Amino acid sequence: MAKKRILSGNRPTGKLHWGNYFGALKQWVELQDSYECFFFIADWHALTTDYDHPEKIKPSVMEVLKDWMAVGIDPKKSVLFLQSWVKEHAELHLLLSMMTPLGWLERVPSFKDMQQELRDRDLNMYGFLGYPLLQSADIILYQADSVPVGEDQVAHIELTREIVRRFHHITKTEKVFVEPKPLLTKTPRIPGTDGRKMSKSFGNAIYIADDDATVRQKMMATITDPARKRREDPGNPDVCNIFSYHKLTSPKKDVDMVDRECRRAGIGCVECKKLCIENALQFWQPLRERRETWDGKEQELLGMMREGSVKAQTVAAKTMERVREVMGLNYGTAR
């Protein structure tokens, strides 16, 4: 039986962090064996928030690619491509924009959340409002059956499904696009070093590429249970960011021990952090070493993306042929 197809991507706005890994990349690596996976670097999406810093895009594409290689995203198993190399994304976005009500975009919950998170930037832009529509175009262009998402992204998939239904209704067609389903991934909430959601824009992220010294320094500065003032006070691991990190990369015996001992002041926060750091370093070291093997291999990485983009474009072109036909644009091409 043919494998079902999934699609997902990363915006190249810098290196990827632990939140990106445990929230998405880890699942992608696992999904590669059971699905036909299309993973893309969403460089046009990066411009929706970083339009005034285009110089960051290319270096960020390289960083994301190295992160992908580090964690085990495999170009032999999955189609890896660059969004802007498949122009059909822009064409489909434009055509869908003709029939997408503004209110649908304005009510996407993450629209307001992101505006809040990136308060320092002027996001009162047409492209930013339209980014969920571009996202919908990204998905349906490949007839993806599912999109791996966390709870907070389900509304985007629902919007995509509505857009597909509306397209079919208006053009009096069916099956031009597949209605994608959310593939809910179990994503623990990954706090940053200050307890807010781990995010590049909050400056609280620990990156996959961070070296030992940086990881140590960031983890030593991480906020623990704020109510635990002295060593002899019992703590509450359930509200502690370090405990969240233990659960990500420490062996079960250490997690159980910390869970027990913290509550009866049997372990101090410094000792607990040191244990957490050693376990984290052990987990990330092989990934980081794999990442370093790609340093200076920009052309090789781009070559890999080129191959993937050609494969992706073949699928996208087939979809667009049908879309042009039903939208009355089927009079061939200039050449």
Could you list the residues that contact ligand SF4 (CB under 6 A)?
A: 224-225, 228, 235, 237, 240, 242-243, 258, 262, 267, 269, 272-273
CB of 189 to ligand SF4, least distance (A): 16
Nearer to ligand SF4, 130 or 191 (CB): 191
The length of the chain is: 335
Q: Are 262 and 234 in contact (CB under 8 A)?
A: yes
CB of 21 to ligand SF4, least distance (A): 21
CB of 239 to ligand SF4, least distance (A): 8
Decide the pairing of beta strands 36-41 and 181-184.
unpaired
CB of 242 to ligand SF4, least distance (A): 4
Q: Tokens at residue 64, please?
A: 């994301």
Q: 3-class DSSP state for residue 309? A: helix
Nearer to ligand SF4, 239 or 304 (CB): 239
Nearer to ligand SF4, 190 or 258 (CB): 258
Nearer to ligand SF4, 232 or 295 (CB): 232
Nearer to ligand SF4, 201 or 236 (CB): 236
Nearer to ligand SF4, 133 or 240 (CB): 240
CB of 192 to ligand SF4, least distance (A): 15
Determine the distance from the C-alpha atom of residue 273 to the mean position of all C-alpha atoms in its chain, rounded to a whole number: 28
Residue corresponding to tokens 């434009």: 94
Nearer to ligand SF4, 61 or 255 (CB): 255
Smallest Cα–Cα separation from 179: which of 148, 157, 150, 151? 157
Helix axes 269-292, 241-249, angle to 10 degrees: 50
Q: State which amino acid sits at residue 138.
A: D
Element (DSSP H or E) covering residue 196? none
Decide the pairing of beta strands 146-149 and 181-184.
parallel
Nearer to ligand SF4, 145 or 261 (CB): 261
In DSSP notation, 178-209 reads ---EEEE------B-TTSSBP-GGGT---BTT
CB of 225 to ligand SF4, least distance (A): 4
Nearer to ligand SF4, 181 or 263 (CB): 263
- Outline where 51-191 has alpha helix (H): 57-71, 88-97, 102-106, 109-117, 126-129, 131-141, 154-170
Q: Tokens at residue 54, please?
A: 């285009």
Q: What whole-number distance in Å separates Cα of residue 72 and Cα of residue 290?
A: 9
CB of 164 to ligand SF4, least distance (A): 46
Point out which residues pair with 147 in neighbouring strands: 182
Q: What whole-number distance in Å separates Cα of residue 60 and Cα of residue 64?
A: 6
> 144: which residues sit within 8 A by CB, 6+ positions away?
5, 6, 7, 38, 178, 180
CB of 258 to ligand SF4, least distance (A): 5
Please give the torsion angle defined by the CA atoms of residues 283, 289, 292 and 293, in that order, rounded to the nearest 10 degrees.
-140
CB of 20 to ligand SF4, least distance (A): 24
